[in-house]
Chain A
């Protein structure tokens, strides 16, 4: 069974830069998994931030960026703002319509 790993929590200072990662319990994440990233604030539906590794969804500020760093997918937030405090989830696409979520990272901005 595929297990997608994320840091359970992270903190960043306002204005700072933070990089969240998305890995595989066995193996490396590459662009072939078309990693995507989602932001969720409490009580709200998820919002799509990034798809196909590094393409921002419509309306997403350019301080959110996606990449591959080493053997993981990464979401970098540059110039963190208070309203970036959310849960962030990555999804890896396994083919045939199959998606796997990571466990999510709770980001605190303080």
Chain B
């Protein structure tokens, strides 16, 4: 069965960087695009962008350019989200999700990133 397993919670200081992983199993990794979704505490879901798992080409939503980087390691079927120069407002749960055609399909369990001094 399809599974997306994300890395564990992170506590970081402002200005630091964090890298969240999303390991896929149960399907051919390059068959589906990988998306990233943010959920700030008490807030709704926000689409951050996606990465083409065939070409590695990322697309970032407005508001997620510059400090946010999507990457892949197809040899281990893993997608990554790196956030640099962390700010308190980056505190959120980050989800990876596959996209099949036009809809988000399978979801990771989420990774809580807390930014606090």
Q: Spell out A's residues near B (CB within 8 Å).
A: 1, 34, 36, 38, 40, 45-48, 51-52, 57, 87, 89, 91, 93, 96-104
Inter-chain contact A101/B47, CB cutoff 8 Å: yes
Interface range, B side: 20 to 34
For the complex, give the distance between the alpha carbons of A51 and B101 in Å: 10
* Cβ B104 vs Cβ A48 within 8 A: yes
In contact, A98 and B103 (Cβ under 8 angstroms)? no
Q: Is the contact region of chain A dominated by helix, strand, or loop, or is it mixed?
A: strand
B residues near A, CB below 8 A? Answer: 33, 35, 37, 44-47, 50, 52, 59, 61-62, 95, 97, 99-110
Q: How far is the CA of A59 from the CA of B39 in the complex (A)?
A: 25
Within the complex, what minimum Cβ distance (angstroms) separates B20 from chain A? 14
**Given contact pairs A1-B62, A97-B33, A101-B46, A34 touches B102 in the complex (Cβ within 8 A):** yes
User: Does A89 lie within 8 Å of B103, measured CB to CB?
Assistant: no
Q: Which residue of A lies closest to B33 (CB)?
A: A97
Task: Name B108's closest neighbour in chain A (CB-CB).
Answer: A45
Contact of A99 among B47, B52, B108, B110 (CB under 8 A): B47
Can you report 10 A-B residue pairs in the complex whose CB atoms are below 8 A from each other? Answer: A34-B103, A36-B102, A36-B103, A46-B95, A48-B107, A93-B103, A99-B50, A101-B46, A103-B44, A104-B45
